[in-house]
Amino acid sequence: MYERPATPTAQPMLNAHSFTSSTRYVMQRLILVFLFFSMVYTAYAQRPPVPDAQDLSHTHGLFVHVRTGGHGIDYDGDIEGAEGLGLGLRVGYGFTDRFTAYLGFEGAGLSGSQGFEGLGSDEEYGLAYVELGSRFHFRPGRTLVPYADAAVSVIGLGYDGSGPYDGNDVSYGGMGFSLGGGMLYFVSQRVALDGGVAFTPGSLMEQYVAGGTEDVDIKLTGVRIHVGLTFYPFR
């Protein structure tokens, strides 16, 4: 039977270098998103005039969204932050041009953390979000459409254990609430470029090892920066 190892009496504290590295990573990604939005806006501002009937792009109806981007996450306490790249998928429906609901799945491989029990210093681990959310569009019926986004997030984290956890899969589960925003740029009636950022404060509340479950309380803050494509197939 699996026996949980004794908890170490002391763990390395989060150092200034790891905090600075994580902050620098987030700032670099924010700059990339700013440049993306700047290029989109410049292209929009310089386009030749067209009749209104050709310029309108609506956000109602079924849509499918695929994305890629950078993930960063920080934890309270002794666990170091981490960063990595991920992929995501959203399927939703625009009930009006302003209001959209969606179900989203997103996952990333992260590296850089130390402090999780049974996770080696050079090991990667997986981070996943399952989200039920909504989006509000501020300028419906335009080519360039900014939006605000909010979602309830189920958060999962997992890795192959090492050391005292060798041979066991270690995973954590929790909840969070995501807030974000971004911009759609319609290149046609059915296809839009999409870029944005989301912040997810939350908590990991359960740890699973070798079929056993233990309550934990690990506070976290996730940052996601994405670019992608949104398709409206039934236009």
Confidence band (pLDDT; 50, 70, 90) for 12? very low
Do the domain assignments include residue 9?
no
Q: For the segment 72-86, what is each residue's pLDDT rounded down to a tens digit?
A: 999 998 888 899 999
- Token pair 């300028």 is at which residue? 139
Q: How much of the chain exceeds pLDDT 90, in percent?
A: 53
151, 37, 45, 47 alpha-carbon torsion, rounded to 10°: -90
Nearest to 81 by CA among 92, 93, 71: 71
pLDDT number for residue 200:
98
- Token pair 């509000």 is at which residue? 136
Tokens of 173: 């589960």
- CB count within 10 Å of CB 7 equals 7
Do the domain assignments include residue 6?
no
The CATH number for 23's domain is 2.40.160.20
DSSP three-state, residue 128 = strand
pLDDT number for residue 17:
43
Alpha helix stretches (DSSP H) within the chain: 16-46, 52-55
Q: For the segment 84-128, what is each residue's pLDDT rounded down to a tens digit?
A: 999 999 999 999 999 999 999 999 999 876 788 777 766 789 999
Do the domain assignments include residue 11?
no
Question: Which residues, listed in sequence order, are joined to residue 61 by a DSSP beta bridge?
Answer: 94
Tally of domains within the chain: 1
pLDDT number for residue 115:
80
What H or E segment, with its residue span, contains residue 160? Answer: strand 144-160
DSSP three-state, residue 15 = coil
Q: List the domain range (segments joined by +) for residue 31.
A: 16-46+56-231
Do the domain assignments include residue 118?
yes
pTM (2 d.p.):
0.76
How far from 55 is each of 13, 140, 188, CA to CA, in Å? 55, 11, 9
Cα gap 197→126, rounded to integer Å: 20
Q: Mean of the pLDDT values across residues 218-232?
A: 96
Cα gap 76→90, rounded to integer Å: 29
Q: Mean of the pLDDT values across residues 130-143?
A: 91
pLDDT number for residue 126:
93
Do the domain assignments include residue 181?
yes
Cα gap 7→99, rounded to integer Å: 48
Question: Which residues, listed in sequence order, are joined to residue 204 by a DSSP beta bridge?
Answer: 174, 218
Q: For the segment 18-65, what is each residue's pLDDT rounded down to a tens digit?
A: 444 444 555 555 555 555 555 545 554 455 544 444 555 688 899 999
Q: Mean of the pLDDT values across residues 215-225?
A: 95
State CA 99 to chain mean position distance.
21
pLDDT number for residue 18:
42
pLDDT surpassing 70 at residue 221 = yes
Report the chain's terminal Cα–Cα distance, integer Å: 58
pLDDT number for residue 163:
64
Do the domain assignments include residue 8?
no
